[in-house]
């Protein structure tokens, strides 16, 4: 697409951007110096900017554009729904067919006890809903003392007050608002490279799960409402737990009657190579959250899926549940989600990715283990992380002030790849429709970027 005559050039858009648009998770003083990259078009796994540069989106947006950019079927689904029913609120005993169809579809894809769905617009809102559900459940069950939530270090659950409190990324707690809230407690996560040296994966998985039991006993089981965790952690640096971790977590939650909340906002809809992370790891949550890939990022939508244990109590004992959002179950968002799920299903995108791409992705990630900058190379499904270290023997990290991850990200972008720095872990989450040849190109650029970064910082093999 060419810009219309008289349209702004890149510098003009950057001037307006600096003047008016505050970006999320951004150093705005730094942005004023560099200017934003202005995206204008997307197709498949590529995004083009106002300079005509084509970028491979190695991040699927933010782990959401699973079926790639430019699928006209989703545009058609949105347009047809807007013409038929552009908006419908879900308050005052009102419903509409598209939300009902999507709720039924989602529950049909999940384990049999997950039978009720509450819709929101973002993962942050879904996590707010989940925590309010858990508190309300225990109040109705006559255990109002169960008010505390346990989450993990390096977790990401969103940016609203409660969701940011649940998140275990320290800079989020410095952003104002007395975060984390006092009813949230954190434990170490299943990060074997940093916390499990000398243990095999199976042993470490059990040890890491045991940190939850220790915290429950410290706080008192009668005070703990729920444990919330992502099946695997994306923003924390592509942290992938051993196979022994989740069965032990589940056993501990059941032993102490603590609700288990699985945040699948990133992992859902194929990221692990399965439709949902719970199928990859054998998780049976009381509550789970979905988002991002539910519409492949084409429209904002999230879902909180509620197990029968919690839903039955809420419905039978709860009276009016005074919680909701103006855009809960927005018709157009639900229509796009239904079409997105149809495409994923009928084109076997997740199954094909699992069979073809996931083995290639795993081999590609692991091929970086010998790079002089990389201390750990880890992945699950189509999410991988390459952790940069200063000393591979001691696992010493670079000082924060070095911003080595940011430097590597910039080197990759110059070469045409969006390659995210989560601290000093370089993360990849390519769209599920990536081809083997495109995947090879992604890894080739990633290696070039790491080589250039090593040269800049004076690192040799």
- Count CB neighbours of 121 within 10 A: 18
* pLDDT tens, residue by residue, 412-446: 999 999 999 998 999 999 999 999 999 999 999 99
Mean pLDDT in residue range 370-379: 97
Q: Residue 1: what pLDDT? A: 40
Q: Residue 34: what pLDDT? A: 87
- The full set of domains in the chain, from first to last, is 37-70+348-456 (3.90.1150.10), 73-346 (3.40.640.10)
Mean pLDDT in residue range 57-72: 97
* pLDDT tens, residue by residue, 381-406: 999 999 999 999 999 999 999 999 99
Which range has the worst mean pLDDT, 128-132, 176-180, 213-217, 246-250? 176-180
Q: Residue 6: what pLDDT? A: 56
Whether the pLDDT of residue 5 is over 50: the answer is no
Whether the pLDDT of residue 450 is over 90: the answer is yes
The percent of residues above 90 in pLDDT, for the chain, comes to: 90
Pairing label, strands 224-229, 425-428? unpaired
Q: How confident is the model at residue 4 (pLDDT cuts 50, 70, 90)?
A: low
Mean pLDDT in residue range 139-156: 97
């Amino acid at each position: 697409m060419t810009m219309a005559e008289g349209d702004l050039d890149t510098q003009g858009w950057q001037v307006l951007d600096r003047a008016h648009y505050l970006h999320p998770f951004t150093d705005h003083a730094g942005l004023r110096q560099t200017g934003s990259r202005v995206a204008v078009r997307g197709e498949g796994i590529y995004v083009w900017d106002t300079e005509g540069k084509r970028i491979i989106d190695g991040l699927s947006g933010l782990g959401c554009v699973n079926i790639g950019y430019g699928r006209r079927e989703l545009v058609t689904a949105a347009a047809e729904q807007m013409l038929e029913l552009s908006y419908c609120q879900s308050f005052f005993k009102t419903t509409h067919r598209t939300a009902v169809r999507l709720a039924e579809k989602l529950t049909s894809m999940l384990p049999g006890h997950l039978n009720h769905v509450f819709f929101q617009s973002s993962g942050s809102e879904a996590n707010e809903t989940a925590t309010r559900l858990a508190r309300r459940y225990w109040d109705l069950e006559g255990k109002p003392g169960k008010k505390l939530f346990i989450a993990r270090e390096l977790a990401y659950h969103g940016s609203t007050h409660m969701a940011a409190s649940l998140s275990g990324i320290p800079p989020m707690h410095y952003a104002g608002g007395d975060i984390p809230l006092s009813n949230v407690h954190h434990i170490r996560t299943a990060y074997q490279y940093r916390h499990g040296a000398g243990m095999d994966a199976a042993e470490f998985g059990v040890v890491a799960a045991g940190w939850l039991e220790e915290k429950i006993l410290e706080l008192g089981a009668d005070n703990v409402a729920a444990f919330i965790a992502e099946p695997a952690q994306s923003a924390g640096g592509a942290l992938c737990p051993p196979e022994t971790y989740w069965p032990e977590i589940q056993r501990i939650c059941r032993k102490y009657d603590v609700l288990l909340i699985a945040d699948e906002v990133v992992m859902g809809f194929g990221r692990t190579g399965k439709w949902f992370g719970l199928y990859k790891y054998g998780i049976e949550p009381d509550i789970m959250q979905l988002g991002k890939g539910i519409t492949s990022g084409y429209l904002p939508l999230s879902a909180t899926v509620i197990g029968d244990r919690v839903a039955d109590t809420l419905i039978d004992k709860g009276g009016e549940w005074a919680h909701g959002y103006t855009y809960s179950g927005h018709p157009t968002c639900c229509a796009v989600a239904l079409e997105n799920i149809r495409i994923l299903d009928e084109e076997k995108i997740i199954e094909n990715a699992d069979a073809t791409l996931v083995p290639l992705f795993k081999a590609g990630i692991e091929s970086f283990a010998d790079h002089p900058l990389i201390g750990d190379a880890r992945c699950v499904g189509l999410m991988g992380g390459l952790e940069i270290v200063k000393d591979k023997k001691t696992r010493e990290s670079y000082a924060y002030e070095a911003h080595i991850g940011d430097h590597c990200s910039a080197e990759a972008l110059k070469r045409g790849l969006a390659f995210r720095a989560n601290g000093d872990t370089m993360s990849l989450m390519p769209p599920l429709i990536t081809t083997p040849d495109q995947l090879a190109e992604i890894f080739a650029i990633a290696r070039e970027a790491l080589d250039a970064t090593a040269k800049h910082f004076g690192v040799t093999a």
